[in-house]
Amino acid sequence: MSKNIQTNRLFVASCLALLVTSLSFGIRAGVLSQQGIDFHLTNGQLGTIASTAFLGFPLAMLVGGTIVDIIGMKRLLVLAFIFHLAGIVLTIYATGYWSLFFSTLLIGIANGTVEASCNPLVTALFPTNKTTKLNHFHLWFPGGIVIGTLIVFLFNKIGLGMNLQVGMMLIPTILYGYFFSKLEFPETERVSSGVSSSEMYKSLLSPLFIFMIICMFGTAITELFTGQWIDILLKNVSDNAILLLTIETGIMVIGRAFAGPVVHKFSPSGVLLISAILAAAGLYLLGHSTGNMLFAGAILFGIGVCYFWPTMLGFVSENLPKTGAVGINLMGGAGMFAVSVYMIFMSDFYDKLVNAKIPVGTADADLAAVTNEAKKLAGPEVINATLMIPLILIVAFIGLNIYMKNRKAATA
């Protein structure tokens, strides 16, 4: 690596870029309900708007992961900066469904471009400590969600509107754009190690990589769908539904900060199994509890999903290194694509559940109260349906641990 590469400054700038990504999730989760009221949107429309961020994300990761070795990480991050700036400004000046749709899509593309650049950047900067440093990098995702939800909560308390809340994202956006423009970047790890493109694409067809892609569908949905929709799903169950997201993501920040000893003790595959068990237990409590027990569920769920995303990427980077930046980005893109599809499906499912619980012929005077009660019942049902995913992951990760132990024994 060149002596001009300033590892720590590049890492800090990467964390700032990811902070913008996570702020967009946290602030959008907090203002989604209000946008629905202000622009007269249905839950189905809100779900479609939210899903565009998850759709733009994998598209950007797929394209970015393919070209990052060719054009370099710095140029990709310039594009991310432009898309973030445009998406934030368009959100501030949104006038209805379509402007929110396209602004959210732009932010999703920017978020995916950040991941397409920064994940391989972190592995290139820390080649002997990938999983731990990816966890440290990705702690800024839940960290930004905590900051974003607190911004929404506090700004609402003092009467500052959505536009100011969204505008707060401009600060870290401008900072990361400035810092990256001044720094020299290393080559991606695949390029620097001399692995050919044909070797890389051959590695993408390995059964282990395909298995991890499928598991990424489940880990991403479990973590991100629940986090993005928790305020809507539990708003009528708890007066502090947005604080459940704050607690959950706060736990994730702490967990990822101490990822090193956890990964060392249990191995990446062991961490994934423990995470699936705890995530399932947390979702069960969120779907079957009221009052203070919801906070216990949020804590348990936060511990469960804490290591999912970075450890999945770290596992692939460590055990399938020839897949390179494309492998990491395919993992992330697959996860976000799965969340996008699942979110559209479940938002319509939620609307149908609510409508089914409203008796035919309900008087207009009683409709608001009856609808609120229907939402109170429907939200936990959506969470309980999602619970099936981490239960399946438990079985999958038991198999992964057995496979990894046998592979280690065979090479010993």
- For residue 400, pLDDT over 70 is answered with yes
d(Cα 40, Cα 237) in Å, to the nearest integer? Answer: 23
Q: What is the pLDDT of residue 203?
A: 86
| Residue 412 pLDDT grade (very low, low, confident, very high; cuts 50, 70, 90) | low
CA separation, residue 96 to residues 44, 88, 167, 331 (Å): 15, 15, 18, 33
- Evaluate whether 223 touches 309 at the Cβ level (below 8 Å): yes
| Selected residue with higher pLDDT from 19 and 363 | 19
Q: What is the pLDDT of residue 232?
A: 64
Encode pLDDT of 132-158 as tens digits.
899 899 888 888 877 887 887 788 788
Helix axes 130-138, 259-288, angle to 10 degrees: 50
Q: What is the pLDDT of residue 1?
A: 52
Rounded average pLDDT over 62-72: 83
CA proximity to 274, closest of 147, 375, 394 = 394
Encode pLDDT of 253-307 as tens digits.
899 988 888 888 888 999 999 999 999 999 999 888 877 788 888 889 999 999 9
| Residue 4 pLDDT grade (very low, low, confident, very high; cuts 50, 70, 90) | confident
Q: What is the mean pLDDT of the chain?
A: 85
Q: Whole-prediction pTM value?
A: 0.80
Rounded average pLDDT over 117-143: 88
Rounded average pLDDT over 336-346: 85
Rounded average pLDDT over 390-410: 94
Rounded average pLDDT over 376-397: 91
Encode pLDDT of 189-247 as tens digits.
777 677 777 888 888 999 999 999 999 999 999 998 887 667 666 665 666 666 777 78
The radius of gyration of the chain from alpha carbons, rounded to an integer in Å, stands at 21
Question: Class for domain 7-185+197-411, per CATH?
Answer: mainly alpha
Q: Residue 348: which residues within 8 A CB-CB, separation 6 or more? A: 44, 47
Q: What is the pLDDT of residue 241?
A: 67
